[in-house]
Amino acid sequence: MSLALGSRVPSSIPRGGRSAGNGIYLTLLGGFQLRRDGNVVILPLPAERLLAFVALRNRPLLRPYIAGALWSDATEGHAAGNLRCALWKLTHCGARLLEGSGGHLELSPDVSVDIRLGSALALRLRDAAPVPAAELRADNLSFDLLPDWYEEWVILEREAFCQLRVHALESLCERLVEVGKFGPAVQAGLAAVTADPLRESAHRILIAAYLAEGNAGPALRQFETFSRLLEDELGLEPSVAMQALARRLRR
């Protein structure tokens, strides 16, 4: 059995340029957006929540489990009814989004999801696996998962992905420097710093990217910014190695 999503409305440019022109692309990083063949598909909130919940898990899920997680305050019967209603709202655009079998639901293989693509790249970077230069991009690593959603199941997934992506962004920055792509390296370093502003290793790698492209001024400003932030937030100083780097920059 296949399940599909409601109406669609035209849109000009994909948010952040992160979705492909054709096919079905689900964006969960930076906010929820579903596109089909370049057009935005507008969904009711319950349908968005259902699609996001299933997309964040790479396995078939039992319907009672989904209903209980998404409508935890409702009775079992009401939660099951809410799930049926949300599924009904996903049946009117002809695009296959969810598949059901034997009481389970899972994401259709026709749907590409940015967080799955980002997680796959992050794991390869973390494990020091070879990555072609053309795939060394921060597109699916630079945004938080559904930042304006505050349900517990989203918060847990957001925190887990944040830890994964900040490590990956540091590795990505270093690899981009190695292949001479200094501009994208700086952008990856900035994304790592934004993800975790108090993380010294992220600032250190960004400083190294600035220096690799011959910009000592921004490198020193980055150190000073980090030093002030660390003092204001934690009452601490940068590491001895970081301070030694700053002294060399000033000389």
> Whole-prediction pTM value?
0.84
Q: Are 193 and 166 in contact (CB under 8 A)?
A: no
Q: What is the CATH number of the domain that holds 75?
A: 1.10.10.10
CATH of the domain at 125: 1.25.40.10
Do 92 and 140 fall into the same domain?
A: no
Write out the residue range of the structural domain in which residue 49 sits. Answer: 2-109
How many domains is the chain partitioned into structurally?
A: 2
pLDDT for 25-34, tens place per residue? 999 999 999 9
Residues 40 and 127 in one domain: no
Element (H, E) at 17: none
Tokens for 175?
């690899």
pLDDT of 58: 87
Determine the pLDDT at residue 5. Answer: 35
* 6-15, 90-99, 216-225, 228-237, range with the lowest pLDDT: 6-15
**Same-domain check for residues 201 and 126:** yes
- The reply to whether 28 and 135 lie within a common domain is no
Same domain? For 126 and 177 the reply is: yes
Where among 109, 124, 149 does a domain terminate?
Answer: 109
Read off the pLDDT of residues 22-72 as tens digits, 9 standing for 90 and up: 789 999 999 999 999 899 999 999 999 999 999 999 899 999 999 999 999
Last residue of a domain, one of 79, 109, 139: 109
Instruction: State which of 78, 109, 140 marks the end of a domain.
Output: 109
pLDDT at 17 over 50: no
Same domain, yes or no, for 123 and 242?
Answer: yes
Same domain, 124 and 236: yes
Contact (Cβ atoms closer than 8 angstroms) between residue 112 and residue 26 = yes
User: Residue 128 — pLDDT band, cuts 50, 70, 90?
Assistant: confident
Sheet holding 39-41, edge to edge: 8-9, 39-41, 33-36, 24-27, 111-113
